Structure 1
Amino acid sequence: MSGSGSGNSRGNGSANSNGDFCAIARIVNTQGHKGEIRAVLLTDFPERFAKLRRVFIGKADANANTSTNMNTSANTSVWRPLHISSYRFQKQFVILSFDEIPDMNAAETIKGLLIGVPADERWPLPEGHYYIDDLIGMEVFEADGHLLGTVREVLETGSNAVLSVMRGKQEVLIPMLKSVIKSVDLSRRVINAALPPGLLEDDQDAH
């Protein structure tokens, strides 16, 4: 779930300042009769399952934020630990068995839940790459220092990520390209952008 350019975004689950866990998979069904489950991957790093022994399962907190690509944050009150006894991949799914889930009846009880890891266990990203939830809510400033708006959503187009920024009631779509995104300051929650001509309705009206 990454784009190209200076502002690549990653969908490795989601965690924000209000959440303690990030989801890396969603359980969609049981698998066979021995307690295995089938889960849709929500992480760009499926190889992390090779090192995972303990995970947490739960449902998203009703008060938690949900961003694009089903990235979901939740608090500790709705998560409980499980220990992975085996895993394998099958197309876009990961097939898992847990020490605490001995049979299909037990597996049925966790269908629909998220599989998560503590937020501080998110994998580090290369320079110039950002987790989607880190971008949500950041303020975007134009080259002249004028506040454009706040990032509402991050869209994945295949070639590059696109920021959906609310400028009052107008949605402005800003491509995360080196020519457009000049800097991303996660600590200050600020993005500086040089918008191409015609991107804003004001520019179009002027013509």
Structure 2
Amino acid sequence: MSYKQFLETGKIVATHGIAGEVRIQPWCDEAEFLTEFDALYFDAAGKTQRTVERARVHKNVVVVKFKGVDSVEEAQSLRNQIVYIDREELELPEGTYFIQDLIGLEVLDADDPQTVYGTLCEVSQPGANDVYHIRRPDGTENLIPAIPDVVVQTDLDGNRMFIRPLKGLFDDED
């Protein structure tokens, strides 16, 4: 599986104050995550890099001051810009994945790998745990909780996820 090196992590939605700061709406689990980077990128190829002078969380957005952006007018020119991070600048804990890497995985039965449930097409985050949306071959969708009792193994290199569904998750299988 080929991974995207530069990952979308938010969008500049507004300016903040008059000193060139911008507000970034984070597209990650925790807004604080975006404050950890020394640089953010403005394209998926990583060609347009901006050095972060400082960053902090303020009311569920991340307020960032980029080096060389010193006025509200310069900050305004960055509005609606998507920001990216370089995946090589961080290390995820074991068993943690980027949502973009999970989308498209083939979902198989952990006990009978010949049984294909479908393709992971979406991840929703309603609360205590993520929910994986599995698109069946007939186009219908099933939802499974992303918990260790259900998700047995995630094999990004093999483009597969092995699950042990709870009773009732795939009613037509019983």
**Shorter-chain-normalised TM-score: which range?**
0.7 to 0.9
Cα distance between partner residues in 1 of 2:148 and 2:123 = 16
Task: Report the AA paired with residue 32 of structure 2.
Answer: P
In the alignment, structure 2 segments of 5+ residues that lack a partner are none
Q: Against the structure 1 CA distance between its residues 98 and 126, is the aligned structure 2 distance closer, same or farther, given a 3 Å change threshold?
A: closer
Structure with greater contact order relative to length (CA < 8 Å, sep ≥ 6): 1
Separation (CA, whole Å) in 2 of partners of 1:129 and 1:86:
27
Are residues 1:46 and 2:46 paired?
Answer: no
**Aligned match of 2:93:** 126
How far 1:201 moved relative to its partner?
Answer: 4.2
The 5 Å alignment of 1:54-203 reads 54-58=39-43, 74-76=44-46, 80-121=48-89, 123-142=90-109, 143-145=111-113, 146-168=115-137, 169-203=139-173
- Amino acid corresponding to residue 51 of structure 2 in structure 1: H
* Aligned mates of 1:47, 1:196 — CA distance in 2: 33
Q: Given the alignment, which residue of 19, 38, 56 partners 2:4?
A: 19
TM-score scaled by length of structure 2? 0.84
Tell me the CA shift for residue 141 of structure 1.
0.7
Deviation of 1:198 (Å)? 2.2
Q: CA RMSD in A?
A: 2.3
Runs of 4+ aligned residues of structure 1 deviating over 3 Å after TM superposition are 16-20
Q: TM-score, normalised by structure 1?
A: 0.72
| Alpha-carbon distance, 1:109 to partner | 0.9
SS of the equivalent of 1:129 reads: coil
Q: 1:162 to 1:80 in 2, by over 3 A?
A: same
Contact 1:19/1:75 (8 A) holds in 2: no
CA distance in 1, matches of 2:93, 2:5: 23
CA distance in 1, matches of 2:3, 2:92: 21
Q: Name the % identity.
A: 28
AA paired with 2:24?
A: A
Number of residue pairs matched by the alignment? 170
Q: How many Å separate the matches in 1 of 2:3 and 2:108?
A: 25
Unaligned runs of 5+ in 1: 1-15, 59-73
CA gap of 1:98–1:32, structure 2 versus 1, over 3 A, is: same
Query: Given the superposition, is the C-alpha separation of residues 188 and 101 from structure 1 closer, same or farther in structure 2, using an over 3 Å criterion?
Result: same
8 Å CA contact 1:139, 1:147 repeated in 2:
yes
